[in-house]
Amino acid sequence: MASSSDEFDRIAFIGLGAMGLPMATNLQNYLKSQDKEPLVVYNRTISKTESLVEIGAIAAQSLKQVAEQTNIIFTSLANDEAVNQVYSELLESLKPNDGKNVIFIEMSTIYPTTIANIKEKVEKIPNVHILCCPVWGPPIGAKNAQLIIITSGHQPAIDHVMPLFIPVLGKKTITVGDDVTKAAEFKLIGNFFVGGVVELLSEGMTLAEKTGIGRDKLMEFIDLFFPFSSFQNYGKKMQNDTFPTEVGFTVTNSLKDVGHMRRLATEYECPLPVADIVHQHLITVKANGGENYDWSSIVGALRIAAGLSFVKK
């Protein structure tokens, strides 16, 4: 398989949400800088393609158009249901006998069996491969090409698209081999650690408020002792109550991911009590109207339990 600089490659990006849009923007800017064919983009809400069209991308009108006109196809979608729907349409639109080499790059956070089932269907089509390459990092990390990308699947296909990963989309890849389910599992385990940070911050922020130390003083400590992106990012949202407006990862999507974590833990008979606690707090936030807040809003569940207001007044 030739390198991804092959002039015959045509690249597409499906799913222009909080993560997909900045990744697609970086891809289009890269293709333009290399005088290559513009990125083909697709989103069910067509208005989300406008900023990409302004910088030279082409908005596809259907998934069928994407399947027919491109051969390297990124997908970044909200949940397993959306992933299944999109791949069902894409695979139905492929023409098995046209001899085209196709690489699908699935970047969503989904359950391992979801990607396994899709791979089984993909492998029935000649010259078609699917990679599972979820990413770690917030939307600002996607914008600045600072994501960590997990790679799994057919290694020659990974090698083929690697120049599109680093430095175009991210700063580092971690490979887990041919088994695409391992990348999906790895992503959930990584997200579990982020969820643990959010829970730890929520509990500490609430105790600091109750004792009178206050959020601002606690953030001084965090700035000095934990100068890491997750602590800084989520700590400041809790400090300033900006989780309704600075949304990197919604409570709705968090419930999906934490549900997957708990399901995976059950499957492997592994206790995951922190995930259970995070799930309870997400449910509380959702019940109080915060389903579209950033998941740092679980501090609100702790505040309510401590007799404080959800958002400081």
Task: Give the residue numbers annotated as catalytic, written as ranges.
Answer: 187
Evaluate whether 160 touches 4 at the Cβ level (below 8 Å): yes
CB 12 within 8 A of CB 63: no
Q: Per residue, what are the HEC states of 128-163?
A: EEEEECCEECCHHHHHCCCEEEEECCCHHHHHHHHH
Q: Give the C-alpha separation, 18 to 22, whole Å.
A: 7
Asked, as a colleague might, if the bond just before 167 is cis with ω within 30 of 0, I would say: yes
Q: Report how far residue 41's alpha carbon sits from residue 25's, in angstroms, rounded to the nearest whole number.
A: 10
Which residues, 6+ apart, have CB-to-CB distance to 308 below 8 Å? Answer: 206, 209, 210
d(CA 250, CA 262): 18
Tokens matching residue 138? 């917030």
Give CA 169 to chain center in angstroms.
12
Q: Is-contact 159 1, C-beta < 8 A?
A: yes
Q: Rounded CA gap, 184 and 112, in Å?
A: 5
Q: What is the DSSP letter of 38?
A: P
3-state DSSP assignment of residue 181: helix
Question: Are residues 254 and 188 in contact, defined by beta-carbon separation less than 8 angstroms?
Answer: no
